[in-house]
Amino acid sequence: MTKLCVTLTEQTPEAMLAAMRRLPAFVDMAEVRLDHIRKVRPCLSASDVERICQGKDRPIVVTNRPRREGGLNEGPEDARVESLRKAAALGAEYVDIELDSVGVLGEIRGGTQRIVSYHNFELTPPDLDNIHRNAVAVGADVVKVAVMARDIVDTLPIMALLRRHAASVPTIALSMGEEGLPTRLMGRKLGAFLVYACAEEGSEAAMGQVPCREMEHLYRFSQISAGTDIFGVVANPVAHSMSPVIHNAAFAEAGLDAVYLPFKVTEPRPFLEGYEPYDLKGLSVTIPHKEAMVPLMDEVDELTARVGALNTVVIRDGRRLGSNTDVAAALGVLESCAGRAGLLPLERCTVLLLGAGGAARAIAFGLSGRVAQMTIANRTLSRGRDLAAEVGASWCGLDEIANLRPDILVNTTSVGMYPRTDESPVPESMLRRGMVVFDAVYNPMETTLLQQAREAGCIAAAGLEWFIAQAAVQFETWTGLVAPRERMAQVVLERLSRK
């Protein structure tokens, strides 16, 4: 079973051992990067290696990476390789030796295994099989291939390498960089010998390493197996997406054998085609791919086709089904607010929708035909007019709204969003007791508009509610189960309050 190995980069043997003892019990192994110990530059002493090997509290990989392979060691090659020999003699379970230095290391005594490693910090070379073969040929006990992913499709040859070899030759294969993050979780599914993590945020030894607690508590690393279903969010950028937090918590709560990953995607088609053979079962889709995904589907529901944008993909029996849970979720939030305001049924309500971008489209199509009257106000008049024509609404400029008296006000413009949080898209005088005010902005959670609305006695709904609601409908679309909404809301609030 794939082990979790934390790379330690402390600068003294004592700090290295202390960091090892602080690692949680679910971390199977530690990689000791001798090249990070200060004394390596100029010279690491034998007693340093001895202290580490005698003080370790779990199996270790000893690595002393030279500058040319991305490490910090600038000393003579003989001394560098000698430190590995010493570690082996002192009982290190594994030593990591670069493919081009195996000859210098020669045979090692005792039960220590040799991880023969290849790194490329620039790109993913085309000849990974060849590299793997060469490492096997020089007697590797474990082969390691770590290469840079410049695009998510670069992770495909890494996963293919694991699929071909991991069952017969212990193999570590990973893509570095943000795009490569999925390989760190897929590694367990594909039977990699080990997967690296870092001890804490900020202590990454290689780009894209995930803190070990996040590996276990967010992604449930130890639960991933060959049969685990893969889900994820397709976005660019993806780093700050809350979707992995909310969906992994939902899968855990429901006891499903599934993991949800962040996919930083530039081209949706090769990504889809490449990942589908790895049990990809569902996707959340967000900026900038909501429109581009639609023609890649085998089927989309009627509303999604009309909106021209999707946020949810289900892959079932080899078919891609696209839908837009933003629409149903927005309707749900608005209906619940209108209920609290005593405004139901929605058919009696007038709506003022601010904005004409992607979020406005979802809401406009959701409400079209469901409310008494809708006005779309947008900064760029032509955009507002075009959307209004599509959904049968009225339109006007943002400077013409002050005298409107809608029952429901929805803001989808970015006015009030971080960092310009003191702005509001409407004059305060518009806000009346009993009105429903829904702000799609969710950074900050409580916008100026929402604060003013609550003070004026409006029923206010935050964009976060929409986010949670659309995620819940997504979960239900993928699994056919009732979404654990309370848990989903709880983890999002916890995560936001930590920031």
Please identify every residue annotated as catalytic.
Answer: 119, 144, 290, 326
CB of 41 to ligand ATR, least distance (A): 49
Nearer to ligand ATR, 283 or 415 (CB): 415
CB of 277 to ligand ATR, least distance (A): 32
286 is a site residue for ligand ATR (CB under 6 A): no
Site string (414-443) toward ligand ATR, x via CB under 6 A = xx----------------------------
Residue at token pair 């202590």: 203
Contact 99, 125 (CB under 8 A): no
Q: In what order do the strands lie in the sheet with 394-397?
A: 394-397, 373-378, 350-354, 408-411, 436-439, 459-462
Nearest to 304 by CA among 469, 267, 295: 295
355 is a site residue for ligand ATR (CB under 6 A): yes
| Segment lying near ligand ATR (by CB under 6 A), choices 21-29, 123-131, 231-239, 406-414 | 406-414
Interactions with ligand ATR, residue window 357-396 (CB under 6 A): 357-360, 378-380, 383
| Segment lying near ligand ATR (by CB under 6 A), choices 28-36, 233-241, 407-415, 453-461 | 407-415
Contact 262, 181 (CB under 8 A): yes
Interactions with ligand ATR, residue window 210-239 (CB under 6 A): none
462 is a site residue for ligand ATR (CB under 6 A): no
CA 232 – CA 278 distance, rounded (Å): 12
Give per-residue burial for 239-271: e unless 16+ CB within 10 Å, then b. eebbbbbbbbbbbbbeebebbbbbbbbeebeeb
Distances from the Cα of 135 to the Cαs of 148, 267, 439, in angstroms? 19, 33, 57
H-helix or E-strand containing 63?
strand 60-63
CA dihedral 386, 387, 391, 392 (to 10 degrees): -50
CB of 390 to ligand ATR, least distance (A): 14
H-helix or E-strand containing 202?
none
Nearer to ligand ATR, 49 or 377 (CB): 377
| Segment lying near ligand ATR (by CB under 6 A), choices 57-65, 174-182, 186-194, 408-416 | 408-416
| Segment lying near ligand ATR (by CB under 6 A), choices 195-203, 349-357, 450-458, 476-484 | 349-357
Contact 391, 364 (CB under 8 A): yes
CB of 382 to ligand ATR, least distance (A): 9
Nearer to ligand ATR, 414 or 451 (CB): 414
CB of 179 to ligand ATR, least distance (A): 23
CB of 287 to ligand ATR, least distance (A): 6
φ and ψ of 32, to 5 deg: -100, 115
Give the Cβ contact number of residue 42 at 10 Å: 10
Q: Which residues bind ligand ATR (CB under 6 A)?
A: 355-360, 378-380, 383, 398, 412-415
